[in-house]
Chains A and B, each alone.
Chain A
Amino acid sequence: MAEKIRILVGKPGLDGHDRGAKVIATAFRDAGFEVIYTGLHQTPEMIVEAAIQEDVDIVSISVLSGAHMTIFPRILELLREREASEIHVIGGGIIPPEDSEKLIAMGVGAIFGPGTPTGDAIAYVRNWWQKRAAGAQNA
């Protein structure tokens, strides 16, 4: 049986806008990924714990509350603490370009802003997956 891309889609923070998360979860499913959807109001701790138990390849979170500069770094930090840094982190939401750049410098793989076609995110995930598989073979 072929390996499946497993991806966690979560929505940290207090705001209740989960439409974006649902849209991307559905798009990922239709692309053939296994999507672990954790729902609203997740703390970074909950997201990281779920990512580990579910053995996901990627964590994809949506932040609209403006708290992205605390939430993303915290998730990266927790993943490092749990020795799970190979889990890739991507995100979306309302995030100014200058913050996006900072987050990517910290280790976030990609940030997809509002209006990004879901196809872009899917292509990014597939591309990352293939690169990782090639890297594993060369190792």
Chain B
Amino acid sequence: MAVQQTGGEAQQDAEVRELAERLAGGDLRAVARAISLVEDGTPLGWGLLDRLYPRTGRAQRLGVTGPPGSGKSTLVNALAQTLRERGERVAILAVDPTSPFSGGAILGDRVRMTAATRDPDLFVRSMASRGNLGGVSSATYEASEILEAAGYDRILIETVGVGQSELEIVELADTVALVLVPESGDAVQVMKAGIMEVADLFVINKYDREGGDRLVRELQLAMELSDWRRGGAWAPPICTTVATRGEGVREALDAAERHFAHLRGEHQRLTQVRAQKMQRRLRMLLNRVLLRHAWRDARIEDQLEAALARIAAREISPYRWVQEVLQSWRRQGEEQDG
């Protein structure tokens, strides 16, 4: 058994090495495969992330979030086109929701991403949220690391259409653009929405529609009233665009550049912010691994069925049962240690 395991590990190492080499050499199939492996949470995927980690840290991650229908995909497409004109290698991760009922998803962001035809320096990948509620999928960050290691300078991350609380993009992106439309609402709505606080810049898209100027004024007022410029220094600029015609896109990109320059500038803000995010990330990754192992080691799944019957018959309370599972798991750990 042990021998077999070692053989398996050696084989996996070889596969990881081969895939990492192809990926570094610009093989798009390898990049695409690697993202799938990471998305499916396979050991091969983890091995690959481990191997590629030293090659990450240079790219800029620009998050684009906003309510459904605000034009995120169209804007991302226009931003990508502009970046390509400037000679940068661009990757897009576009997240759409997974149905909680069927587990399936329709990932339709490519419909708007007309820039992605046959340009090897523009890579577009659609991701399903797969049950994650934060507006991205739990593997979106890992996918961005794969893309970074494959040499993409700029990674655009488009979230699912968000309401007021899907804020995970903050943990993934260096710069977050919040896309709104003139209809996005009155000042009250603006002030109560949690998503307003994640914005490093605001983009009022579809600015040719009525009400654009009003929204700009309301945003300005709301910003004056609140102190959401935590840490001071950076006041989120308000950009106006008509993404379908490419209007204002360059200016929005420049605003994102200024934010990134601000992060990279004095006081090593970027290093600090990334360290804070990494701390939260480590907790999250460890939680994920611990949970999986605890469930497996304590054979919790096997006990669930029997527990349900006892709980329904009021023989045991859910609260007592949870404590018992915890105790049996601990005893098991002690026995293994001894």
Binding site for B on A (CB under 8 A): 1-4, 6, 25-26, 28-39, 43, 45-46, 49-50, 52-55, 82-84
B56 at the interface (CB under 8 A from A): no
Choice from A3, A32, A83 contacting B40 with Cβ under 8 Å: A3
Check if A55 sits within 8 Å of B111, measured CB to CB. Answer: no
Contact flag A37-B29 (CB < 8 Å), given A32-B104, A55-B36 = no
Choice from B35, B123, B124, B128 contacting A4 with Cβ under 8 Å: B128
Check if B107 sits within 8 Å of A35, measured CB to CB. Answer: yes
Contact flag A49-B117 (CB < 8 Å), given A36-B126, A82-B29 = yes
Contact flag A35-B40 (CB < 8 Å), given A29-B99, A53-B125, A82-B29 = no
- Least distance between A69 CB and chain B CB atoms (Å): 23
B309 at the interface (CB under 8 A from A): no
- Which chain A residue has the least Cβ–Cβ distance from B33? A55
Contact flag A35-B29 (CB < 8 Å), given A4-B40, A49-B116 = no
Check if A84 sits within 8 Å of B29, measured CB to CB. Answer: yes
Q: Closest 4 CB pairs between A and B? A: A39-B111, A29-B104, A55-B32, A1-B41
Contact flag A33-B108 (CB < 8 Å), given A46-B118, A83-B29, A84-B29 = no
- Least distance between A60 CB and chain B CB atoms (Å): 13
- Which chain A residue has the least Cβ–Cβ distance from B127? A34
Check if B106 sits within 8 Å of A35, measured CB to CB. Answer: yes
Residues of A with C-beta under 8 A to B36? 6, 55
Known A29-B102, A34-B128, A49-B117; 14 more pairs at CB < 8 Å: A2-B40, A4-B128, A6-B36, A29-B99, A34-B104, A35-B105, A37-B106, A37-B108, A45-B118, A46-B118, A50-B116, A53-B31, A53-B32, A84-B29
B103 at the interface (CB under 8 A from A): yes
Q: List 18 A-B contacts (CB under 8 A).
A: A1-B130, A4-B128, A29-B99, A29-B102, A29-B104, A32-B102, A32-B103, A32-B104, A34-B98, A34-B128, A38-B110, A39-B110, A49-B117, A49-B118, A52-B28, A53-B28, A53-B31, A54-B125
